[in-house]
Every structure is written in structure tokens, then in C-alpha cells.
């Protein structure tokens, strides 16, 4: 495994950066308990509190980010709202506990997007990106296979294959999306375990030939839409800068 060849000093830095940029977001999984079925039935409905906490975390991260990340985070919130209503309310791909779209969800998408972006663009991580990518890809394959064999998660496995196929000719995006796959999987496991949202037993509650676990493993496939959309809007707003960057890349390659 390539990751074992990374110098210990660099490996420690990568782990530290992972904990700083992504590990903190994992803490939010435990905050989801306050929007759980158990908490709402035995204590009180505190979805409003989680919305406030997520807003606070979002703005804290926003004001500490670079201008580019700030702009991408705003796009992610706007597109996240539209995507949630489309996939959850429109296509019944999954259903939230109160059959709404909690405010913390699209805001969480933006925070997740920003955290992974900063991790994947860090200089020491980029230096050893192939080693990290191999480690993450092995984890993803094992994870999706376990879900397929033990939970009959055909829907998730098909989406996982889709992730690898879409990244086949996009090597520059692999680190970002492998990281996103893992973080989304952790978030989905926590959210569904608490009953904050639920996935149907078949894909889109329509396709019987696609049995699904709750949650399916490869849901990060749909985050491609968020990333591509954010990136497209950014390049359209900064056409001159983006054109200059492409010219530099063509010269260096």
C-alpha cells in the first residue's frame, strides 16, 4: 500500500489536516441526535436548535475561508436547497423525519463541500495525493462490498461503481470525491441511525431491481451534481481568470 511509503513526518501532517478539516465536521453527526426520533419523542423537537448551531458553524467557517471557498460555499447552499427539494420532496429519493427539508441540511452541504475542498487542496496532501487516493479507494471498495453482501445494497453498489467510472478520466478530482464519499457515508450512517431521515428499500421508491440499504453506500455520486454546478457557476463568473488558468495548464503540460 502506497500510503506506507509516505514519510512519517508528512503522514502525521496529513492526518492532522484530515482531523482539522474533516474530523471536525464528523462531530456534527453526533449533533444529529438532537433531531432524532428518540429525542423528539422523549424530550422535545429541537430541529430549530440544530439549524441555529449549523448556521453558527457555517459562518465561523465562512469567515475563516479564502475568497474562492467563500464563493463556492454560497453556491453550494443555494444549489443544495434546490437539490434537496428535488431529490427528497420531488423524487422521493429519501424522506426527512418531519417530511420537510431542514435548514441545517443545505447549510451542511456547503460546510462539507468547503471542508473537503480545503483538505484536498492542501499542499502536503496534494504532494502525496496518489497515496491518499489509493487508501481511500480501497476503503470505499471494502465498504461498498460489505454493504452489498450483508445488506443487499445493490442501489448503493451501482452508485459506487458510477463514482469510479466518472473519476476514471478525471484524476484531478479523485482525491476530492473519494474524501467526499467517505465523509458522506459517515454522515448518512449517523443520520439514518438516529432516524433524522430514511431511505426507501428500493431506489427512488420505484426501481424494484435496485434494492437499497438505509442508507445506500454510494450516495456521494449525487454530490457530483453539486460540485459540477458550483464549479460551472464559478468559472462563468470568473471567465478571464479561468481562461488564464487553462492557458497556464496547457503550457505546463
pLDDT tens string 235-248: 777 765 555 545 54
- Class of residue 155 by CB neighbours under 10 A (exposed 0-12, middle 13-18, buried 19+): buried
pTM, full prediction: 0.86
Average pLDDT over residues 148-172: 93
* Lookup result for grid cell 453526533: 30
Q: CA-to-CA distance for 12 and 35, rounded, in angstroms?
A: 35
DSSP 95: E
Q: Which helix (H) or strand (E) holds 210?
A: strand 207-211
**Radius of gyration (Cα) for the chain, nearest Å?**
19
Considering only the C-alpha atoms of the chain, give the largest distance between any 2 of them, rounded to a whole number of Å. 63
Of 186, 184, 195, nearest to 226 by C-alpha is 184
Average pLDDT of the chain, as a whole number: 86
Buried (b) or exposed (e) across 3-42, using 16+ Cβ within 10 A?
beebeeeebebbeebbeebbeebeebbebbbbbbeebbee
Contacts 24+ apart (CB under 8 A), 134-141: 134/1, 134/2, 134/3, 135/1, 135/2, 135/3, 136/175, 136/178, 136/179, 136/181, 136/182, 137/164, 137/174, 137/178, 138/1, 139/182, 140/178, 140/181, 140/182
pLDDT exceeds 80 at position 135: yes
Q: Are 75 and 230 in contact (CB under 8 A)?
A: yes
| pLDDT tens for each residue of 79-102 | 888 888 988 888 888 999 988 899
Nearby residues of 27 by Cβ (< 8 Å), 6 or more positions away: none
62 band by pLDDT with thresholds 50, 70 and 90: confident
Average pLDDT over residues 197-201: 94
Q: Are 33 and 194 in contact (CB under 8 A)?
A: yes
pLDDT exceeds 90 at position 193: yes
* Grid coordinates given for 226: 453539486
Answer whether the bond into residue 123 is a cis peptide, omega within 30°. Answer: no
pLDDT for residue 253:
43
Of 104, 127, 20, nearest to 56 by C-alpha is 104
Average pLDDT over residues 36-56: 85
Amino acid at each position: 500500500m502506497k500510503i506506507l511509503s509516505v514519510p512519517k513526518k508528512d503522514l502525521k501532517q496529513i492526518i492532522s489536516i484530515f482531523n482539522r478539516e474533516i474530523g471536525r465536521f464528523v462531530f456534527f453527526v453526533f449533533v444529529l441526535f438532537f433531531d432524532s426520533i428518540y429525542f423528539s419523542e422523549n424530550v422535545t423537537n429541537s430541529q430549530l436548535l440544530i439549524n441555529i448551531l449549523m448556521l453558527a458553524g457555517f459562518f465561523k467557517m465562512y469567515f475563516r475561508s479564502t475568497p474562492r471557498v467563500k464563493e463556492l460555499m454560497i453556491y453550494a447552499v443555494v444549489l443544495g436547497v434546490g437539490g434537496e427539494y428535488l431529490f427528497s420532496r420531488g423524487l422521493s429519493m429519501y424522506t426527512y423525519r418531519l417530511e420537510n427539508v431542514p435548514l441545517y441540511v443545505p447549510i451542511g452541504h456547503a460546510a462539507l463541500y468547503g471542508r473537503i475542498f480545503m483538505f484536498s487542496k492542501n499542499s502536503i496532501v496534494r504532494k502525496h495525493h496518489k497515496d491518499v487516493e489509493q487508501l481511500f479507494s480501497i476503503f470505499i471498495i471494502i465498504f461498498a462490498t460489505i454493504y452489498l453482501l450483508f445488506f443487499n445494497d445493490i442501489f448503493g453498489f451501482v452508485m459506487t461503481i458510477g463514482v469510479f467510472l466518472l473519476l476514471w478520466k478525471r484524476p484531478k478530482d479523485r482525491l476530492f470525491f473519494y474524501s467526499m464519499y467517505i465523509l458522506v457515508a459517515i454522515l448518512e450512517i449517523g443520520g439514518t441511525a438516529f432516524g433524522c431521515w430514511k431511505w426507501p428499500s428500493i431506489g427512488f421508491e420505484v426501481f424494484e431491481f435496485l434494492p437499497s440499504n438505509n442508507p445506500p453506500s454510494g450516495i456521494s455520486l449525487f454530490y457530483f451534481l453539486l460540485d459540477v454546478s458550483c464549479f460551472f457557476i464559478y468559472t462563468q463568473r470568473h471567465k478571464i481568470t479561468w481562461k488564464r488558468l487553462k492557458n497556464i495548464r496547457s503550457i505546463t503540460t
